[in-house]
Amino acid sequence: MSRRRSIRFTSEGTRFLLFTFGIGLAAINTGNNLFYLLLAMMLSLIVVSGLLSEHCLRRLEFHRHVPDLIMANEPATLTISVTNRNRHMPSFSLRMRDVVEGQEVDRGLAIHVLPPQSSRLLSYPLLGTKRGWIRFDGIVVQTLFPFGLFLKKGRYAIETHLLVSPPIKPLALRFVDELVNEGQGAALTRRGDGSQLYNLRLYQPGDDSRAIHWVTTARTSQLVVRETEAEDQRRITVVLSIVAPAECEPLFERSVTFVASLLWQLTERAHPVRLIVGTEDSGLGSGSAHLMAMLRVLALCKRQSPESGHLGQQGEHSPLTCEGGRAYTLAIVPWSDQATLTNPVQADRVLHATQLEELTHAF
């Protein structure tokens, strides 16, 4: 943790210094020792100011607590804990400023008094406006203590990164329903309501007694219940094409937001979902952890210019097949080169730029 100091006069400090200078001149000119005494008093106030402000900024420890992932345009709470490692003296009038990607940002964080060997937890809201990483370089702590003559700053380098996912927007329910009902959604071999046998396991308190598999129970002399395989879940693969020229950047971003929102909706409905973005493949899965993993992929995906020659990268991952059978595939193509390839992605349904414009115009 590196510490650097800078000092700046306040307007009061500048005046004070001018008066000190004036008294110094008077003392030198007249040789009057009482003027020297007053000069010494003013100089000592400056020195004491420097010593105490340094004392306030020394032996402080900062820790930043950030969430793993936050949504763009959704306020999130960040926390900074400040500890005063001084043994005897408190620190006064501390003001903290965030250093975000080299820029100092005032979040209105202030501690008037921090007793020795104690900590304070300061929280503040953060609104990520665009997806991707936010880099926090450190914290600048400043104080005017004790006399407000100088503003002394100390910089504590604590580098932290925060990932911002694309925002989640409401989608038309009809579109999502259509999507789910369309195509070849296949039953996933997982527990659920159904008639096919999925598994046999030992009876647990609370299990339905009608599910007891009596044959096995009789054979093993242990209560064994029968689990069935769920039949109504459809597997959906969402492929996002990241190839788009610079002028399509707004639509690309809206497409990313659309994909994030769609994944959110599908996860809410407990569908097994797979996301393919460029070379990134989330794999098939469901639940909030899987959603977070997919949102992380979306947070970091970058548009690629058509000139870079990486068209159709998603084909490397065989998106159309997976264990358990073929999934329903939805391709999101914000831009397609009409001259060379009409449908760059092999999918059950492809949403092109015009449809995406229509679906995301309200984002």
Partner 1 sequence: MPFNQAFALSSVTLAATAFSGLVLAQSVPFWLALPTAIILIISLLHAGGVLFLRRAMAQITDSPTLWNVLLIGAFVILLIDLTVVSRDLLPAGIHFLVVLLGIKLLTLQQRRDYRHLYVISLMAILASAALTTEAWYVPIFMLYLLTAVWTLLLYHLTQETSEISAAATLPGTVACRTTFPSRITYRFFWLTNGIVILTVALTLAIFFLIPRIGVGVLQKTSGEAVRTTGFSDRVDLGTIGSVKQNPQIVMRVELPDQSAGGKDRFYLRGLAYDQYNGRSWSHSGTRQRSLNLAADGTFLVRPPGSHPIDRPSETIRQDILLETLDTSVLFAAPFAELVSGEFHTVQADAMSGIHLPFPPSSRIRYSVTSQVPQLRANERTASTLAYPDSIRFHYLQVPMGLEQVADLAHRVTQRAATPFEQTQMIQQHLLENYRYSLESEVATLNHPLEEFLFTRKTGYCEHYATAMVVMLRTVGIPARLVTGFLATEWNEYGSYFTVRQRDAHAWVEVYFPHSGWITMDPTPTISAAVATSRWELLSRLAESVRLQWDRLFVHYSAKDQLAVVHGVREGSDAVRERMGRWVSSLGAPISQAFMRLTHMAQAFHSGMFGLITGTIVVGLSLVLLMLRDRIALWAVTHLLPKSLPQRAIVQLYTRMLRIVERHGVRKPPAATASEFARLVELEWKAAGPMVADVTAVYNQGRFSRAPLTQDDLSRVTEQLGQLQSLARSAP
Helix (H, G, I), strand (E, B) or coil at 259: helix
Figure out which of the listed residues 17, 36, 326, 355 binds partner 1, where binding follows CB under 8 A.
36
Nearer to partner 1, 37 or 362 (CB): 37
The answer to whether the beta carbons of residues 112 and 93 sit under 8 Å apart is yes
How many Cβ atoms sit within 10 Å of the Cβ of residue 354? 8
Scanning 106-114, 128-136, 210-218, 260-268 for contacts with partner 1 by CB under 8 A, the matching segment is 106-114
Residue 267: exposed, middle, or buried by beta-carbon count in 10 A (0-12, 13-18, 19+)? buried
Scanning 128-136, 144-152, 201-209, 281-289 for contacts with partner 1 by CB under 8 A, the matching segment is 144-152
Contacts of residue 185, Cβ cutoff 8 Å, sequence gap at least 6: 233, 234, 235, 236, 327, 328
Figure out which of the listed residues 146, 194, 245, 283 binds partner 1, where binding follows CB under 8 A.
146
CB of 89 to partner 1, least distance (A): 8
The answer to whether the beta carbons of residues 128 and 70 sit under 8 Å apart is yes
- Residue 197 identity: L
Distance CA 240, CA 319 (A): 11
125 binds partner 1 (CB under 8 A): yes
The answer to whether the beta carbons of residues 13 and 150 sit under 8 Å apart is yes
Virtual CA dihedral for 232, 257, 294, 132, nearest 10 degrees?
-170
Figure out which of the listed residues 108, 205, 206, 309 binds partner 1, where binding follows CB under 8 A.
108
Parallel, antiparallel, or unpaired: how do β-strands 280-281 and 328-332 relate?
unpaired
Scanning 23-31, 269-277, 296-304, 344-352 for contacts with partner 1 by CB under 8 A, the matching segment is 23-31
Q: How many residues bind partner 1 (CB under 8 A)?
A: 48
Helix (H, G, I), strand (E, B) or coil at 161: strand
Residue found by looking up tokens 């597997």 in the block: 235
48 binds partner 1 (CB under 8 A): yes
Nearer to partner 1, 125 or 205 (CB): 125
Nearer to partner 1, 29 or 103 (CB): 29
Q: Which one-letter DSSP state was computed for residue 243?
A: B
**Of residues 187-206, which lie at the interface with partner 1 (CB under 8 A)?**
none
The answer to whether the beta carbons of residues 55 and 91 sit under 8 Å apart is yes
CB of 48 to partner 1, least distance (A): 5
29 binds partner 1 (CB under 8 A): yes
CB of 339 to partner 1, least distance (A): 50
113 binds partner 1 (CB under 8 A): yes
45 binds partner 1 (CB under 8 A): yes
Scanning 122-130, 222-230, 234-242, 284-292 for contacts with partner 1 by CB under 8 A, the matching segment is 122-130
- State the Rg of the chain over Cα: 32
141 binds partner 1 (CB under 8 A): no
Figure out which of the listed residues 6, 32, 184, 220 binds partner 1, where binding follows CB under 8 A.
32
Q: Token digits for 15?
A: 């005046």
Residue 243, strand partner residues: 304
Nearer to partner 1, 52 or 301 (CB): 52
Site string for partner 1, 64-103 (x = CB under 8 A): ----------------------------xx----------
Q: Classify the C-alpha dihedral 50-53-58-62 as positive or negative.
A: negative
The answer to whether the beta carbons of residues 345 and 333 sit under 8 Å apart is yes
Scanning 115-123, 210-218, 327-335, 352-360 for contacts with partner 1 by CB under 8 A, the matching segment is 115-123
Q: Which residues bind partner 1 (CB under 8 A)?
A: 12, 15, 19, 23, 26-41, 43-45, 47-48, 51-52, 92-93, 107-114, 120, 122-125, 144-149
